[in-house]
Structure 1
Amino acid sequence: MTAQLLIGPVLRRVDGDRATLWLETSEPASVRVEVDQAGAGSARTFSAYGHHYSIVTVDGLAPDSANAYRLYLDDRQVWPEADSEYPPSVIRTRAADDREQPVTLLFGSCREATPESSRRHLPPDALDAYSRRLMADPEARPDLLVLLGDQVYADETSAKVRKFIRRRRKAGHQGPEDQVVTFEEYTKLYLESWRDPEVRWLFATVPSVMIFDDHEVIDDWNTSASWRADMAREPWWRERISAGLASYWVYQHLGNMSPDELAADPLLQKVTAVDDATDLLHDFGLQVDEPESAENTDVPYQWSYALDLGRTRLVVLDNRCNRVLTPGARSMLPAAEWNWFLDQAHGDYDHLVIGSSLPWLMPPAIHYLEAWNEQLAESPNRRAAAFGEKVRRAFDLEHWAAFGKSFAALGELFRRLGEGELGDGKRIGAGGAYAAPASISVLSGDVHHSYVARADFGHAMTTPVFQLTCSPIHNEVPLPMRPLMKIAWTRPAAQLVRALARTLSVRKPALHWKRLAKPYFGNAIGTLRLDGQLATAEIEGTTKEGALQSVASVSYRPTT
């Protein structure tokens, strides 16, 4: 049969004179990419669970250029489509020496599928709106799209997907009737979401990296050790976690790797060497769901990654899969992965950008509530600890503040970097000593409202540290929750909950933070532009007509 292009092409990494593109086809095929002026790449598809995928590395791209490309399956052009009314998809490269070149990052999280297939009516999709604007002005394209979690919702499905799932349940496949469980069911989520025409064009022309949050697997994924124990008793859970992580590796994580990392990845080498990689991916999904424990301190698979764009370093952290959940030793990252992160945070760059699906700096009242709850759940009194665990899971109290040691360690890292670890405004990297960063920015999502906050470490510091939260891209927070979110930012609410936290000897954080704009509850997309020593962040929300309007903007640079 003739292979059809089902999803893609999705332009992922552009590194120097190379780029990677990801796609899914209906049948096995030879894939070839040709770029105008210079550049080409080819690969065979690999197969798993009856589906066919390819990640193609394009070599020989001209520096500082933006050239259209064509995609062929078995020597038949399938992209751009012959009747396409959209601008050509292009691969843009940076200058050979891009140290003085600005960097623009587009970011956000929490995107349900298109309005036609959504389970409910939602305000306009911010990614659709951005795509339409970029079509009108292609020269304004960002360097990278950073998607910070909940790219698909495995536990909140559309009517179309639920209908498909229910047919499978009647046929004997175990699991909830409104949630995906198997790899086949996961593929329907990506097909539904990534074939949105405007988003498909955007993915084809703007490089993107991604990280999961809970809804790629299930709400409150890895909240605590007792949560994991309860889920393990569900007869469908092993299939769910295996399929969730395997599909994430195929659809999202493959594109996070550079061409060199792809060439060295052991799993990709195995997957592309066999006719059917189903068993490989199924076993992989189970193996990488092993949390760190006293007996096992190895990281099963590192989902966190880092990359440099000009003088900007982006480090994207896994806030979900590799959490340490052992009571008394809770941590966002296991020790080996934290040490890797510390290595990435030191080096020769101007701006440090952290991608964290969960915000580091939350509304202060919620921060103290989570810190109180963590302490309660650690209580030696079994009844008190059980109550704390029940509250933790009922109210989703599992952000950085609920992993207090990690929250403090991240703040201490930023303080040391911002002050200059050597006492003279310097920090150590592999190549020697470097000046303190021009800025530190934490990009986050998850909480279904957008805000900008600045960290204050209690004394003058060279480097400004900002929390930039943009969520949702296409979803909404229930109306009754909005006043509570606003109140959580107020000083009286923070003082009240802090008093509660003090009853369990919760210490005040070593820093405090201030929100710089009102929380925004609509669909939104964020932009961070880094130019020389200046960082400029903007959150844009969608109007009823589907356009974008600025709802928050801030600029920051080092102090002298």
Structure 2
Amino acid sequence: MTAGLRLGPLLRYVDWETGEHATVWIEADRPCTAEVRCLGAPPGEGTAPAGEDTANGVPGAEGPPDATRPGAPKGAGGSSRTFQIEGHHYALIPVSGLTPASSTAYEVLLDGRRVWPPADWPYPPSVIRTPAIPAEGVRVSFGSCRWAAPPAREHDPIGPDALDTLAGRMAAEPGGERPDVLVLLGDQVYADATSRETQRWLATRRDLSEPPGAEVADYEEYTRLYEESWLDPVVRWLLSTVPSCMIFDDHDVIDDWNTSASWVAEMRATPWWRERILSGLMSYWVHQHLGNLSPAELADDPVYAAVRDTPDGTDALRSFAARADADPASVRWSYRRDFGRTRLLMIDTRAARVLDERHRAMLDDEEMRWLRGQALEAPGSYDHLLLGTSLPWLLPPAIHDVESWNAALCRGERGERWARVGEDLRRRADLEHWAAFPASFEELASLIREVGSGPLAPSTVCVLSGDVHHAYVAEPHWPDPEPSARVLQLTCSPVHNAIHASMRAGFRFGWSRAGRRFGRAVARHGRAGRPVIRWDKTGGPWFGNQLMTLTLNGRSAELRLDQAVTDRTGTRLLTVDERNLTNGP
């Protein structure tokens, strides 16, 4: 039997150093050789202007085939054998020989047979867009928290999916504006909040009256979540043509994942948790993390080598996941991407935590050293620093104070009884953002000030976050001297999810003057000190399914917030806010 394409293709890494390389992720339905063949510029697509709408070699490649269509860069493409995990077959295909500042259509072949695009595919060709070298600008769209959209024929009770809507607009206007990269900041799948359709499928495998019930239990069930999300046709096309950077948050594994040491102990005592956490980490490594890595990181990755070096990489990946769970400090999920003179640092704020109540930290010591080293490397070599953290650094001030109060209670500042109350409240109210790790909050504030000060400081330092199911812009202020860089918290969530009316009211109250007074009173009860900085909301809150887009060019930065809306004209992205973040040209 011939191999078929089960999932993908996803365009993941596009090289911004030479403009010649990329990686494409696929899942096949059996072992095979997966190949990307480049075809040249599709109709309506031309060479991308320098700095506009633009986006090495990878180990293990069998070597790129010659492209066979007129206009394709000579020799552009690549191939790789699939590797096997739990009976599934994947490949991260290296693509080389691309031309900088170009837009190149591609097809996917399995064992020499074309499987992508499918026959009668209604969307434009999948393309790899490469930047001019040196790159002049980058457009970054970001958000988080996406329940898979229901099929088009079904009513969507939470409104249109912003990612679907973006994809639809791009498909209708192939030569129009598009992001150079999608930054997906967590909750790409919901392992603990499955759809009715997925629950019906789960019920064919096991008794849902037994834990973990309608949540996913093992690797095979995780693959179902990715299929449900990524086989949405227009999103499938979008992910095949726009590079993506991803990081997990709690729902990629389970709500409140790693909220506290006592939570972890309780979960480890349940009979189903070990399979859940190992499967969650394994599926994240395969579907999300692997494509985040640069070619150099892939070449040095012993797990990737071990998985590829055996007929079945399941045991090697399972051993890695077990080590990541038992010793989080031994594994790094954070990573760096450079887009010309914009540096993105994606920060793991889930698995890298230190949960000892007396030494709580959002990032362990080694992870914080890595973050400092990446942010401070080669000062003056970038104009914009983006810190991708699924959890907002700056919350509404009242909520910040409640979380710091709760952290003080849990570490025993008001005695054992209040510590028990604090732990119960922490879990019920999800009090686990940067504010709940006060030392880490201050350490990040110190790092941002250091990066943003001095003659070689970047123009902007933007903290990109999601999680809280609404969007806002906040700006911090330090005691004199202020950093010379413009520092902003940019929060955008959800891409496709809901928020209760009571939470909307709570977030609005959190920014109010009365909310600030309430927060300070609560913090005093817990003997929690004032944060070293103060901050103000300068935009929002906005509620709805939405995406933010940063356009960074030279030392200038522009921000736009688009919401997915349905009206008499159909479903579209409505721009609800635009602003210039700098005084640059």
**Normalising by structure 2, what TM-score?**
0.89
Q: Secondary structure at 1:354's aligned position in 2? A: strand
Aligned to 1:546: 571
Q: Deviation at 1:175?
A: 3.2
For 2:79 and 2:271, the matched residues in 1 are separated by: 42
Aligned to 2:460: 439
Q: Secondary structure at 2:325's aligned position in 1? A: coil
Q: Deviation at 1:511?
A: 1.3
Q: Indicate the larger mover: 382-391 or 205-214.
A: 382-391
Q: Deviation at 1:559?
A: 8.9
Q: Secondary structure at 1:529's aligned position in 2? A: strand
**Identity level (%):** 48
Aligned to 1:475: 497
Cα pair 1:125 1:473 within 8 Å, conserved: yes
Q: Secondary structure at 1:547's aligned position in 2? A: strand
For 1:554 and 1:510, the matched residues in 2 are separated by: 27
Aligned to 1:337: 367
Unaligned runs of 5+ in 2: 40-71
Q: Deviation at 1:79?
A: 1.0
**Pair 1:11 & 2:46 matched:** no
Aligned to 2:57: none
For 2:88 and 2:334, the matched residues in 1 are separated by: 26
For 1:188 and 1:457, the matched residues in 2 are separated by: 47
For 1:120 and 1:498, the matched residues in 2 are separated by: 40
**Pair 1:366 & 2:399 matched:** yes
Q: Deviation at 1:174?
A: 6.3
Aligned to 1:325: 355
Q: Deviation at 1:505?
A: 2.4
Q: Deviation at 1:255?
A: 0.3
For 2:332 and 2:572, the matched residues in 1 are separated by: 38
Q: Deviation at 1:93?
A: 0.7
C-alpha spacing 1:498/1:513, structure 2 compared with 1 (3 Å): same
Aligned to 1:257: 293
Q: Indicate the larger mover: 133-142 or 400-409.
A: 133-142
For 1:324 and 1:198, the matched residues in 2 are separated by: 40
Cα pair 1:33 1:69 within 8 Å, conserved: yes
Q: Deviation at 1:534?
A: 1.0
Q: Deviation at 1:291?
A: 4.6
For 2:210 and 2:273, the matched residues in 1 are separated by: 10
Cα pair 1:119 1:157 within 8 Å, conserved: no
For 1:119 and 1:413, the matched residues in 2 are separated by: 46
For 2:400 and 2:579, the matched residues in 1 are separated by: 23
Aligned to 1:555: 580
Post-superposition Cα deviations, 1:154-208, rounded to whole Å, max 9, x if no partner, equal 000011111222232239x963221001000000000010000111010000000
Cα pair 2:207 2:213 within 8 Å, conserved: no
For 1:263 and 1:461, the matched residues in 2 are separated by: 38
Q: Secondary structure at 2:425's aligned position in 1? A: helix
Cα pair 1:214 1:220 within 8 Å, conserved: yes
**Pair 1:236 & 2:272 matched:** yes
Aligned to 1:385: 419
Q: Deviation at 1:554?
A: 2.3
After TM superposition, list the pairs within 5 Å mapping 1:156-195 onto structure 2.
156-170=193-207, 175-195=211-231
For 2:257 and 2:132, the matched residues in 1 are separated by: 41
Q: Deviation at 1:3?
A: 1.3
For 1:119 and 1:222, the matched residues in 2 are separated by: 35
Instruction: Look up the equivalent residue of 1:392 and give its one-letter code.
Output: R
Unaligned runs of 5+ in 1: 293-298, 426-434
Aligned to 1:74: 111
Q: Indicate the larger mover: 477-486 or 85-94.
A: 477-486
Aligned to 1:111: 146
Cα pair 2:555 2:584 within 8 Å, conserved: no
Q: Deviation at 1:55?
A: 0.4
- Which of 146, 149, 153 in structure 1 is aligned with 2:186? 149
Aligned to 1:432: none
Q: Secondary structure at 1:412's aligned position in 2? A: helix
Q: How many residues align?
A: 538
Q: Deviation at 1:504?
A: 2.5
Q: Deviation at 1:385?
A: 1.2
Aligned to 1:21: 24
Aligned to 1:295: none
Q: Secondary structure at 1:160's aligned position in 2? A: helix
Q: Secondary structure at 1:518's aligned position in 2? A: strand
Q: Deviation at 1:558?
A: 6.1
Q: Indicate the larger mover: 278-287 or 534-543.
A: 278-287
Q: Secondary structure at 1:47's aligned position in 2? A: strand
Q: Secondary structure at 1:472's aligned position in 2? A: coil
For 2:514 and 2:412, the matched residues in 1 are separated by: 27
For 2:137 and 2:38, the matched residues in 1 are separated by: 24
Post-superposition Cα deviations, 1:464-486, rounded to whole Å, max 9, x if no partner, equal 10011110001110223211221
Question: Aligned-pair RMSD on alpha carbons?
Answer: 1.8
Cα pair 1:241 1:289 within 8 Å, conserved: yes
**Pair 1:102 & 2:131 matched:** no
**Pair 1:499 & 2:534 matched:** no
Q: Secondary structure at 1:443's aligned position in 2? A: strand
**Pair 1:303 & 2:306 matched:** no
Instruction: Look up the equivalent residue of 1:236 and give its one-letter code.
Output: W
Post-superposition Cα deviations, 1:302-344, rounded to whole Å, max 9, x if no partner, equal 0000011110000000010111111111111111111011011
C-alpha spacing 1:24/1:174, structure 2 compared with 1 (3 Å): farther
Post-superposition Cα deviations, 1:17-71, rounded to whole Å, max 9, x if no partner, equal 1100001111111111111222110001111111111101101111111110111
- Which of 419, 432, 440 in structure 2 is aligned with 1:406? 440
Q: Secondary structure at 1:517's aligned position in 2? A: strand
For 1:526 and 1:204, the matched residues in 2 are separated by: 20
For 1:134 and 1:307, the matched residues in 2 are separated by: 24
Cα pair 1:18 1:259 within 8 Å, conserved: no
Q: Deviation at 1:367?
A: 0.3
Aligned to 1:450: 471
C-alpha spacing 1:559/1:209, structure 2 compared with 1 (3 Å): closer
For 1:553 and 1:505, the matched residues in 2 are separated by: 40
For 2:252 and 2:399, the matched residues in 1 are separated by: 24
Cα pair 2:149 2:156 within 8 Å, conserved: no
Aligned to 1:201: 237
Q: Deviation at 1:518?
A: 2.4
**Pair 1:485 & 2:507 matched:** yes
**Pair 1:93 & 2:130 matched:** yes
